[in-house]
Each structure stands twice: as structure tokens, then as C-alpha cells.
Amino acid sequence: MTDKESKHILVTGGAGFIGTNLCRRLLKQGHTVTCVDNFQTAQAPFRTAFRESARFRVVRHDVTMPLEATADEIYHLACPASPVHYQRDPLHTLKTCLHGSINMLELAGRANAKLFQASTSEIYGDPEVHPQPEHYRGSVNPIGLRACYDEGKRCAESLCFDYHRQQGVRIKIGRIFNTYGPYMQPDDGRVIPNLICQALRNRPLTIHGDGLQTRSFCYVDDLVEALLRLMETPDEFTGPVNLGNPSEVTMLELAEHIVELTGSQSKIVFRPLPSDDPRRRCPDIDLARSRLGWQPSVPLREGLQRTIEYFEDVLMLGEQTVSKTVPAF
């Protein structure tokens, strides 16, 4: 990549799971990357994700506060995505979704930067339409325990479109469905890292509900490719666009895959289903196929095997302790 082709790209939430994978990919493409994170949920494996580079900078900052920076593109990923984390401080989660999005949209306007807003499949709630297309408006409990995230992300989408229509800010909105892979946290609270770590430790695998509820899991490399392709589309295409894997799997099937792939002696135990947990979740990705020329390519078992190998290394190195320190590069 020539200097003329290289961009300065700012990634909020860049020390998180998707952010870490995205920053690595952008650096490999030859871009200059600024990772902005408050390190509220960032973890020790982030330390090992990067080698020292003059093109990579880490800024400790909470996006609920205004930020002065320059950038050609902004990937706004900042916000805890795990129910365990976003329900721990629901007011801060809402502030991150609302004030954080306003601050990044204001920055994008000042810098004339294109902004990607990380939305979520959670905006569909417990869906009454299956699979979920972008025109479906969802079934969300606005006062439930998950509302700080669900409704926060719905409002963030509204903010993006109002800034786009009223102030001409260039936006791209991707509704990210369940994603997994390296650089997830062992204490993340989402189902794949939970089950993998339980299996590797030969502890009981915890399934909530009857295990027949479904999800569709997209390997993180596929998801990052979708983000890059969305950002490259013409300005008139704003989204929102579903980004995920349309192949459904039940939680019982997922647990069985993980037990088999790890060779674990773990047994499956059942726990009550959390409040407002959706029974089915699967994206309609026709729009992503037609406008981005994209669909996932990594099969579930292959992605799980790669993720298991990552967690084997993490647990062996003892990096499951949350790090509150900005990494040195």
C-alpha cells in the first residue's frame, strides 16, 4: 500500500474482541491505526495482539466524553457487548451508546471522516419474524434488564441517521450478530467462551433454558471482512445491513460440538433462562450478499477449533485475569 492509499483510522473499543481483530487487520493492510478504549472490559490477551509499530497508537479515553482527533475513517465499536458486562453498569452502557455515539458523530463531522456504527442483532429483541431482515422493527422490552444495550443501540442508529440527514455525516451501520473467535475474554459471559473454558477445565457445561434456543455464529475473520467491505461501499449506501452467519445451531448442539472438539469429560447442566433472552436469532443476509458481495466462509466446527486452540494458549499462560493497564507496545 502506498502512502497515498494508507488511511488514518480510529477504532473506538479497539481493545475489545472485535476491535482487536479489526486493528490487526487494518495494520496488516498498511493503515495507521489509533485504538481508543477506556479499558473497562479490556483484558490481558490484548497485550499479545500487537507488536511495536509506529503506525499503531493506544489512547485511554472514555467515549462518553468528547474526543479531539483526526481520522479518515472511524469504526465506532465502543460498548460492552456481553450481557454480563453491559448489565453490570447499565447507566454507563446507555451513556456509551448515546453520548459515545454523539461524540463520535460530532468528531466525524469535524474531521470529514466516514463513520461505521457497530449496531447489533439485539435491536430485534426476541424476534417475531425469522430470520430477521433489516426492515423488521423488532420486539424489544424497553424497560427490561437488557434494554440498556438493546434500546441504547436502537437510539444510536437513530442518531446516526439524524446526523446523516441533518449534517451530512457519512455513516455506515452494521447490525452485528453473534461473533466469536480469538481475543474473546475467558470471563466474557457469552456462550462460546463460557462453554470452551468450562470444557477445557473439565467443568460442567452450563446451558440456560432447555438448550433448544438457537443462535447463528459468525467467525471473527469473516465479520472483519464484512466491516471492511461495508466501509468501502459508496456513500449513498448507509445500511443498516445485517452482518452474521445465517446457519442456525441450538445451544445443545453447540455444547456437543465443543465437548467433542476438546475431548472434554464435562457433562451438560441446565440453568434458568435469563430475562428477555431470545428463543431464536438468525440474520437474513441477502442485503450483505448483494451489496457487499459477502457471506461467511468459515464453518462453525473449523472456527470453534481455532477458538479452542486460542483459549488453550490463554488458559495455559494464565491470562484470564482482567488487565486494567494500557499495554505497552
Q: Which three cell numbers stand for residue 76?
A: 465506532
Asked whether residue 2 carries a pLDDT value surpassing 60, the answer given is no
Contact 178, 281 (CB under 8 A): yes
What value does the mean pLDDT of the chain take? 90
Core vs surface per residue 232-248: b (16+ CB within 10 A) or e = eeeeeebbbbbbbbbee
The torsion defined by the Cα of 200, 206, 210 and 211, in degrees rounded to 10, comes to -30
The vertex-224 CA angle with 93 and 147, nearest 5°, equals 20
Q: Which pLDDT band holds residue 329 (cuts at 50, 70, 90)?
A: very low
Question: 283 pairs with which residues across the strands?
Answer: 132
- Residue 21's pLDDT is 96
What lies within 8 Å, CB to CB, of 227 at 6+ separation is 22, 75, 116, 174, 243
Q: Which pLDDT band holds residue 273 (cuts at 50, 70, 90)?
A: confident
Asked whether residue 13 carries a pLDDT value surpassing 90, the answer given is yes
How many residues belong to the chain? 329
Q: State what percent of residues in the chain have pLDDT above 90.
A: 72
- Residue 45's pLDDT is 53
Q: Which amino acid, 167?
A: Q
Mean pLDDT, residues 271-292:
87
Mean pLDDT, residues 286-292:
98
Contact 257, 303 (CB under 8 A): no
- Residue 325's pLDDT is 35
Mean pLDDT, residues 81-95:
87
pTM: 0.90
Phi/psi of residue 317, each to 5°? Answer: -80, -10
Q: Which amino acid, 180?
A: Y
The three-class DSSP label of residue 32 is strand
Q: Which sequence positions are flagged as catalytic?
A: 149
Q: Which pLDDT band holds residue 97 (cuts at 50, 70, 90)?
A: very high
Could you give all domains of the chain from N- to C-terminal order, each with its CATH number?
A: 8-180+217-246+282-297 (3.40.50.720)
